[in-house]
């Protein structure tokens, strides 16, 4: 089953974890974009960049798992006639 905009909307509205993770993912992306504007990163900034990338990937994986769970529940629930 394909993930649709309606699915995204529903998950954002009905699933608190999904909503929270989506916000975290955007925040991590903004932080990475801020770091990317710097000419050179300090060692601390490099470590921070690696940490953010790992956390962002973890969040992305969890969002994907929630999408799969939602898709599976839609397949197992018969549509009303």
**pLDDT tens for residues 1-50?**
576 778 888 888 889 999 999 999 999 999 999 999 999 999 999 999 99
User: Is residue 81, in this structure, part of any structural domain at all?
Assistant: no
User: Is residue 46, in this structure, part of any structural domain at all?
Assistant: yes
CA 6 vs. chain centroid, Å, equals 17
User: Is residue 78, in this structure, part of any structural domain at all?
Assistant: no
Give residue 81's pLDDT. 57
The C-alpha torsion from 73 through 78 and 79 to 81, rounded to 10°, is -170
This prediction has a pTM of 0.81
| Overall residue count recorded for the chain in this entry | 81
User: Is residue 65, in this structure, part of any structural domain at all?
Assistant: yes
**What is the number of structural domains in the chain?**
1
Distance (Å, whole) CA 59 – CA 20? 10
- Tell me the residue range of the domain where 57 lies: 5-72
User: Is residue 41, in this structure, part of any structural domain at all?
Assistant: yes
Which is nearest to 53 in space by CA: 32, 23, 22, 24? Answer: 32
Confidence of residue 53 (pLDDT cuts 50, 70, 90): very high
User: Is residue 23, in this structure, part of any structural domain at all?
Assistant: yes
User: Is residue 79, in this structure, part of any structural domain at all?
Assistant: no
pLDDT digits (tens, 9 = 90+) for 55-72: 999 999 999 999 999 888
């Amino acid at each position: 089953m394909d993930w649709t905009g309606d699915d995204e909307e529903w998950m954002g509205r009905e699933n608190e974890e999904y909503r929270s993770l989506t916000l975290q993912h955007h925040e991590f992306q903004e932080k990475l974009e801020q770091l990317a504007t710097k000419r050179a990163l300090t060692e601390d900034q490099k470590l921070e960049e690696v940490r953010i990338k790992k956390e962002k990937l973890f969040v992305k994986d969890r969002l994907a798992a929630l999408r799969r769970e939602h898709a599976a529940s839609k397949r197992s629930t018969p549509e009303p006639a």
